[in-house]
Structure 1
Amino acid sequence: MNIMLSIHDVMPRHLTAVSQLIEKTRALGWPPATLLVVPHADWSAEQIDQLKSWSAQGHPLAGHGWTHHVEQFGGWWHRLHSALISRDVAEHLALDANGILALMRRCHGWFADQGLPAPTLYVPPAWALGNLPTRRLTEQPFEAVETLRGILTIKTGRRDYRALLGYEADNALRALALRTSNAANRRWAASQGLRIGLHPPDADLLLAADLWNDLTRFSPRLPKAD
């Protein structure tokens, strides 16, 4: 099965939890996860060195927004999206197309400014790309963009439709919604391929048991039960 494992929200305050997820996924037989890095934070030189170390160990680095926080909502749809799905992290939804493109360019440039490898993948916070026509994605430097629908390669226009599992459930309603979505996506995974998106607090939230069960079940390097 074609599987992509990613760890979201890589920023200074989450590095300890990210490190723990890296250790546990490697222990379960996973290859290095893609790390989704949020640039606009108070990164110290030591923390940048940690990103460089993870990159050297084989973890691809990807862009993940700029602030990962919304200062002002962009209308009723953004407020509804925040209440049901994204809370206050879907920063793209507060911007127009030009603002989104500027954010993506700024995100990409940050990696070079820190002496980090240039990322090829961009994942908007909460997978919400916002009001940006697909045809305008050629105006930004990332080679591919991941949304809820899958991973779009900009040059070819090809979209890789993979099922998606997530576990960021901090209340009963989100837990129910994610359990329902995850159940459907597990069934589709065999034919579509699979994405597993981890967030730093997931191991302490309501779907922690599901998380570890899935990481064991889908591990590419653990023997499967008969």
Structure 2
Amino acid sequence: MVSVHDVMPETLPRVERLLALLEAERVYPVTLLVIPGGAWDRTALARLRQWQQRGHELAGHGWHHRVGRYGGWYHRLHARLISRDVAEHLALDAEGIGALISRCHAWFGDQGLDAPELYVPPAWAMGRIARSALAELPFERYEYLSGVLSAESGLFAPVPMLGYEADTAARARAVRLWNRINRSRARARGWLRIGIHPQDLELRLAESLRQDLRGYRHHSRYAALTERRPDHDEGDGAGVTENVR
């Protein structure tokens, strides 16, 4: 499963470049993580509709994808080590997170786009909301760093993730190690997620990204994970889900 993060008006040229690369590598379908709270004009919205019409899936990805304030020491530590200033859920309580997620979902319909099924919190930081509470919210699936939750059934699919967002030497070393571990885990599980950010082709792991795109030839939508049941294990990762309630 391949996703492109941080789709917003100012990143659309880079997203176009990424989609051209993915199409050249025959990577399809792609899930595009859309940030609604930007300055979306008619031209930018038309591009989203075109991508959706081409079969790519749109998903919700926060609202502004940045924080106006920090929500305590954990949020500050998370920002310093992992997320910088994008983990907006961590500044909110459960009610605020639920309101942000609902607002995000409603935006797509307001713009004449198909309703998304997947929500991915910025930096995969869901914050202080229980997984069981997500069943009351409009998205069908929620992605965490460790996997994907089906909100209605409570089934959680733990799936390895590869990333490439490394703009410093230290981050490049850490992400290379992370990816090496998760490639090994993916061989055992049969499933893998590749998360791409708009600037990744300009950063230190660009060639690693290209190699990984060439290395995996069977692509899937996120829905395939949580549609399968643990008692239907076919030996190819179908038994990856577990009930977390």
TM-score bucket of the superposed structures, by smaller chain: over 0.9
Residue of structure 2 in register with 1:143 after alignment: 140
1:54-133 residue pairs with structure 2 within 5 A? Answer: 54-133=51-130
Residue of structure 1 in register with 2:196 after alignment: 198
d(CA) in 2 for partners of 1:220, 1:97: 37
> Residue type of the partner of 1:196?
I
d(CA) in 2 for partners of 1:186, 1:19: 27
Matched position secondary structure for 2:204: coil
> Residue type of the partner of 1:123?
V
d(CA) in 2 for partners of 1:11, 1:126: 16
> Residue type of the partner of 2:127?
G
Residue of structure 2 in register with 1:213 after alignment: 211
Q: CA deviation at 1:119?
A: 0.2
Matched position secondary structure for 1:9: strand
Deviations 1:101-132 (A, max 9, x none): 00000000000000000000000000110011
What TM-score does the superposition give when structure 1 sets the normalisation length? 0.95
Q: CA deviation at 1:219?
A: 3.0
Equivalent residues of 1:164, 1:194 under 8 A apart: yes
Deviations 1:186-209 (A, max 9, x none): 001122210000000000001111
Deviations 1:24-52 (A, max 9, x none): 01110111310000000000101100000
Residue of structure 1 in register with 2:224 after alignment: none
Residue of structure 1 in register with 2:182 after alignment: 185
Matched position secondary structure for 2:149: strand
Q: CA deviation at 1:161?
A: 1.1
Equivalent residues of 1:32, 1:57 under 8 A apart: no
Q: CA deviation at 1:149?
A: 1.4
Matched position secondary structure for 1:159: strand
Runs of 4+ in 1 over 2 A off after TM superposition: none
> Residue type of the partner of 1:150?
G
> Residue type of the partner of 1:156?
S
d(CA) in 1 for partners of 2:4, 2:23: 13
Matched position secondary structure for 1:36: strand
**Alignment equivalent of 1:39, drawn from 29, 36, 48:** 36
Matched position secondary structure for 2:65: coil
d(CA) in 2 for partners of 1:172, 1:140: 40
CA RMSD of aligned residues (A): 0.9
Deviating more after overlay: 53-62 vs 135-144: 135-144
> Residue type of the partner of 1:85?
I
Deviating more after overlay: 188-197 vs 15-24: 188-197
d(CA) in 2 for partners of 1:174, 1:137: 32
Residue of structure 1 in register with 2:225 after alignment: none
What count of residue pairs does the alignment treat as equivalent?
218
> Residue type of the partner of 1:151?
V
> Residue type of the partner of 2:3?
S
Equivalent residues of 1:29, 1:220 under 8 A apart: no
